[in-house]
Chain A
Amino acid sequence: MSFREKSAWISFFCILAVFGSYFAAVGGAKAGRIDATHLFPMFIAAVVILVVLEIVLHAAVAIRSPREATARRDERERLIVLKATRIAFYVLAVGAFLAIFTMHHGAGPRDMAHGVLLAFVLAELAKFGAEIVYFRRGT
């Protein structure tokens, strides 16, 4: 498995774990199990944890193959990223539209913000998921 593919797997599972936990907390706040005022500090913590996790895990993989980690992407890897980014754009566009749509159905600013954030997270998951599929398939 190439370094770029390992990187995609790391990012996919880190985002899924960290923001899956965060949105579970958002759901808990909507259900009244968690104080909603705690959500902003939780969001900041999620971002910090995600950054630290990504750095640590990428560094661990890079130490094992430093030449590959520092090499520029080759043409196939650049193509894979471009194709995956296109998929992520469509996911983000649909998600953002749906988040805005909730405004017309009584959603407050916090719900809309979470909707847009969810769209970003799903787009990132779609991007890294697509990269993984393309790496597995060849392109």
Chain B
Amino acid sequence: MGDCEIDNNIRRLRFEHGEMTQQELAGRIGVTRQTVNAIELGKYSPSLEVAFRIAAVFELPVEQVFSYRGKRRS
């Protein structure tokens, strides 16, 4: 995963929801495909609003989509 302290299951959830593409998810939550990719790879932490929108797409609570890992030791 990337540099963020937050992990997510978005890639798996997309696959489980009819093999949804990144572009489809991006269109439903109002961001670019590249932003969805950056979130999945842990390179970008979305705002609360976008996190809730993502969770709403998958009809799950936010904490089942995102989890807080805590700071990595370097």
Contact B50–A75 (Cβ < 8 Å): yes
Task: Name the residue on A nearest B35 (C-beta).
Answer: A76
Contact A74–B30 (Cβ < 8 Å): yes
Complex Cα distance, B30 from A31, in Å, reads 55
Q: Known: A75-B50, A76-B38. Contact between A138 and B44, CB under 8 A? A: yes
B19 CB, nearest partner CB in chain A, Å: 23
Contact partners of B44 in chain A: CB under 8 A: 76, 138-139
A-B contact count (CB 8 A): 36
Q: Does A77 have its Cβ within 8 Å of any Cβ on chain B? A: yes
Complex Cα distance, B45 from A47, in Å, reads 39
Q: Does B56 have its Cβ within 8 Å of any Cβ on chain A? A: no
User: Which of chain A's residues 33-82 have a Cβ closer than 8 Å to chain B?
Assistant: 68, 71, 74-77
Q: Known: A137-B43, A138-B44, A139-B44. Contact between A74 and B32, CB under 8 A? A: yes
Complex Cα distance, B64 from A62, in Å, reads 38
Complex Cα distance, B38 from A4, in Å, reads 15
B8 CB, nearest partner CB in chain A, Å: 13
Instruction: Kindly identify which residue among A68, A75, A139 contacts B43, using a CB–CB cutoff of 8 Å.
Output: A139
Binding site for A on B (CB under 8 A): 2, 30-35, 38, 41, 43-44, 46-47, 50
Binding site for B on A (CB under 8 A): 1-2, 4-5, 68, 71, 74-77, 135, 137-139
